[in-house]
Amino acid sequence: AQSVSQHNHHVILSEAASLELGCNYSYGGTVNLFWYVQYPGQHLQLLLKYFSGDPLVKGIKGFEAEFIKSKFSFNLRKPSVQWSDTAEYFCAVNGHNYGQNFVFGPGTRLSVLP
């Protein structure tokens, strides 16, 4: 079975601080990995995705994530957060044997203080 854990339930940062949100997955085979963001009151939007190739993936709004296969991790990073990054962030995994089925992590709520 595939599963996803996110280390932090709620992260509070000041503007300009650096961000790293942890994501670990459990699946023995080849995976596709995603980070989605949900701004307050809105739907989930894709931030970035990894399918193959360069393990360092760059997404929108200055976000990036690094796939470390040996650690089953796909951590999200941003060097300098803004107040507008306040949102909930979801990591998701899609194992290649699971067709279209995603498993989402529980989410990490990020609050950026102005």
Partner 1 sequence: DAGVIQSPRHEVTEMGQEVTLRCKPISGHNSLFWYRQTMMRGLELLIYFNNNVPIDDSGMPEDRFSAKMPNASFSTLKIQPSEPRDSAVYFCASSLGTTALPTQYFGPGTRLLVL
Q: How far is the CB of 81 from partner 1 (least distance, A)?
A: 23
Residues listed for the chain: 114
Q: Site for partner 1 (CB under 8 A): which residue of 35, 63, 89, 90? A: 90
Give the helix/strand (H/E) hosting 71.
none
Q: How far is the CB of 17 from partner 1 (least distance, A)?
A: 26
Would you count residue 99 as binding partner 1 (CB under 8 A)? Answer: yes
Would you count residue 106 as binding partner 1 (CB under 8 A)? Answer: yes
Would you count residue 7 as binding partner 1 (CB under 8 A)? Answer: no
12: number of Cβ within 10 Å: 11
Rounded distance between C-alpha atoms, residue 48 and residue 45, angstroms? 9
Rounded distance between C-alpha atoms, residue 7 and residue 23, angstroms? 7
Q: How far is the CB of 38 from partner 1 (least distance, A)?
A: 9
